[in-house]
Amino acid sequence: MHCYAQKPFLSSPAITMARNLRELLLNIDKLPDQQSFTMNPTKFTIIESYVQFLLNKLKSSSTKEAFVEELRCNNDNFLEIGLPPNNENLKDNFEITSEVNLLKMEESSFE
C-alpha cells in the first residue's frame, strides 16, 4: 500500500482565520459594549499585523475594562469610533431619496 501526502482540507488563510476566530470567541466577554475601536491606517499597513496586535491585546487583558483602557492608552494604533446615543433607532431617522427626486428638489431643500 502506498502512502501519499494528502493536501490539507483547508487553505492556510482559512486556518489562520479559524485560529483568530477561536481566540476572539475565547475572549468575547472582554469586548466593549459601547466603545468601538478600529485600526489606525497610518500605523498598520498590513491587516494581518493589526489583527494579531489586537488579539494579543485582547488575550493579555484580564477584563473588559482593562481591554478598553489598553486600547485607549495605545491611541496611536487605534481610532475610537463614537456611536450616536440611542443608535437602535438611527435607521428610522433616514429617508432614501432617488437621484431623480434629488434633481427635482429646490435648492432651498438642501439647507
Q: What is the pLDDT of residues 15-57, one digit of tens each?
A: 899 999 999 899 988 888 776 788 888 888 888 888 898 899 8
Does residue 63 register a pLDDT over 70?
yes
Most confident of the ranges 72-76, 79-83, 87-91, 99-103: 72-76
Helix%, strand%, coil% for the chain, nearest 5: 55, 5, 40
* Residue ranges covered by each domain of the chain: 14-85
Does residue 1 register a pLDDT over 60?
no
Q: What does the block give as the cell for 13?
A: 488563510
* Torsion over CA: 66, 46, 25, 16 (sign): negative
